[in-house]
Structure 1
Amino acid sequence: MSVRNTSLRLRDTLRLGTQTWSVGAIHDGTVHLTAPGRASMTITVSALLGDPTFEVVGDRRARGPLGGTALFDGLPEPVQKRARWWEQHVTEVIDGVPCTASPGTPAKLEYDPQRRTLHEREKSKHEELTGAGETLSLRTVKRMRRDYERDGLLGLADKRFVPTRPVAGRADPRVVDALREVLAQNTHQSSGTVMRLEREVRAVLERTHGPGAVPMPSESTFRRLLKRLAEGRHATGSARTRRTLAQQPDRMFGAVAPVRPGELVEVDSTPLDVAVVLADGFVGRVELTAMVDVATRTIAAAVLRPTTKAVDAALLLARAMTPEPMRPGWPQAISMAHSVLPFQAMRSIDQRLEGAAARPVIVPETVVYDHGKVYLSTAFRNACRTLGITLQPAHPDTPTDKPHVERTLQSVGTLFAQHVAGYLGSSVERRGKNAEAAAAFSLVELQDLLDEWIVTGWQNRPHDGLRDPLSPGQLLTPNEKYAALLQVAGYIPVPLSQDDFVELLPAQTRKINSYGVKIDHRVYDAPELNPLRGQRSGVSAFNDLWEVHYDPYDITRVWLRNHHATEREWITLWWRHLNAAPVPFGQDAWNAARQIAAQRGDGTPSQEKITALVDDILTRASTPPERAAATRGSGRRRTSSSRKEQRVAARTSAASEVRGNDPVIPKTPRPEPAEPAPPAPELEDTADDDSLAEVIPLGVFDPHEEAKHWW
């Protein structure tokens, strides 16, 4: 009996009448036939199969599905060899000849698709294999043929070596559900052991299905099940890592691709794992607040502060839009004139770039921030509104909304912080022995090192996120990316004036009294207030009060906006007791002094008493170790200050030093103190004959001259 093979496949060669055709397409019951040198033809499948002259010619081989090659290559060699042995026999059943046979090899009679049905061919193969000593059934031959047609060569491999089982294996689904519930609850708990998780799973099963209704697997089986279900979740590992992984979105990550420098900027703060000497040997960590431009991965600004305040976040904007000046000791190789940045073209537009370091000036358009108090403050929002910057808050507990600055802060720790003297490690288990006692830099020195590293290292380091899309193997540096995008976006400088800097500071509303302006029990005054004393501002939004801006890190002066002037005008008001306390100190030190006075039962302290207490805190906290040792050697007992007093003094002193280096601080001259009196005669120190007391000259108060002037 002759049986024709009536199945059609793409690229089959068939004979129809006296002509040979190739199957080009099969669609919707029609077959598109093509032939070299002739016009193509379309015929229905029913008409083609009903034509008595139709037959498939040429060498037809079984084509298993593509894919699975990499998985098959990972199987053991004996398994692969057995699968290829099966392929020879299965393809002979399907096509009549083995897959390795040469083209044109005639098929055996018992496997000829033109003369034998598929069932007959499978039966012949079963008889052949059993006759050769193989122990198998006809059902096995049929199954292997179906698996090959469905999965290709991988379908012929031993299933015991192919990972087709579910993740939980054959575990009871009720146990699996209970374990998933426990793992979800364990996300925000303290890390425990496998024993605790096993006990909680047993409690969930008893509460849900009743005591003893669901048997618990053995300890070894439970551990294997936990390893599979808790893969990458740190169920018994780091609690911080477990919470971080749980905060990732359970969906496809979105992507924003800014094409202009400053189009999207992310800002965040984190503790820096470096011990810093703040004052008088007080060693502690500082916070790193950084602003990262997503388009170029440029660290637009980075500041170190003992505690990040709202004014720091506002000043961060000013530093990003201000060129980084070259500092003494920096090599000329890191100047903008010697970098890949288009210095000449940019300098022709912005003269501030003359003598600047190779750090791009970033003008933010949109700032992405988290829900920290620093970024929710009025000072930061006012600064962004003044500069025309759009604020985009991140979702709560979703660090993936600002991943670039998160990863950059980690990179600062690995690329910079760990190489700095005083590195403490990211956790206690990574900390060295007596790491706090090691040598450390001051805050000013560390800030200078960080600025130089950003200009020298980070801005010229190839970044994995700055790959050329047309040449993925080529990495760009932040400066190279900035120069490339600058050709498309252009450069528009936004120079900050002194008035702009004052606008970035936090503000309060006050009344101008006859003696000046009072802020937190401190009196500020200036001769420019004479025509405004006792008058209303005329601003109904402020209840006729006056707008006063202040710097929490330097309370020696404040700035009052003159609402009666036709143009924007700021009046600098100086603290009346500035000459009595020549060292600028901040809001923290002032509040600490008031608390000390209150603890001593002094009631509401006066300005003079608070000034003296603050001066005492700064004196005890800023005494160099050499002087302290000399004091102990001379027989004097040095009163030990509390840790809180040291911290307040250290923050104040460090912040005052850093504030003095800010390039955008207005240079308003401070009032000159009165002429010093002649020095008093030196008195003999009865406590130590070899040392003399330090003489501090004070101004002479002349009541007759003072009576001639009004306040």
Structure 2
Amino acid sequence: MTEWTTTLRPGLPISFDGEQFTVAEIEGRRILLRQSGLAGPPKLRPVDISVLLFHPTTAVLAPVPKEETAAEAVLSGLADEEDDELTVKVQHLQEVLTGYRLGDAALALEGEPRADFAPGKPMLHRYAVKAAELRVGVSTVRRWTAALKKSGPAGLVMDRPVRSVVERADPRWVEMAESVLKAKVKASCPVRGLILTEIEEQLVREHGKGTVPLPARTMGYELLRQMSKGTNAFEDSTKGKRSIADGPQGTYGRLRATRPGEYVVLDTNSLDVFAMEPVTCRWCAAS
């Protein structure tokens, strides 16, 4: 059972001694309960706090709060790239709230506060400027700011949609990686490091140097692993890779016949089972 706590306060719905009440008043050790669901004048019942809390029938009727992952666990699970991205986002939002990216005038960076975030500037103006700067909606900046104020940096992590490592990578890098991997289908086992180098060279050739952000080496290996699942791209068996590449592209699943005899299932496996034919007494292999 999940353990949780709540404050004993006026208005708290509870069950006590087989009846439902609402806490009406608290005065020292004396708790005044108002019975719920009765027509006419409310029925009041005074009870000592120790009797109420330790009575075996007492139960709080408020809904159990939703369990949340500890902030430490949320932040420790971030990859290096995600941690850097979160740091930048927090600094942007601190500039919205305080005018300073590091959150305090004593830690002001050169040129801070900027005119649009100087003291006295309305928050609506700050939201609009930051939204235009980050190329997101004003409502998104306001939501991020509220999450930061409520739960700190961990609130920004829980606020975002869950994305795979491939979804977090630059789409241009992913597209080029798919093209390079596809070209290696019928080649011998490629080396991951050389594949990453080839992807980088083709991106520079197509988009220019420094235009497309490149993943770190470790993240690049993970991206290749995720993108090559089910293809045997980095296995030694070239024959196996070709077989998978030449196989049907559709998803295997259950066949649904629309008429009798539409599908015929053939089992060509031979069973190591024999039987004797009753008339000729010859041994027959089962099939």
**TM category, shorter:** 0.3 to 0.5
Q: TM-score, normalised by structure 1?
A: 0.19
Which structure has the larger Rg? Answer: 1
Q: TM-score, normalised by structure 2?
A: 0.41
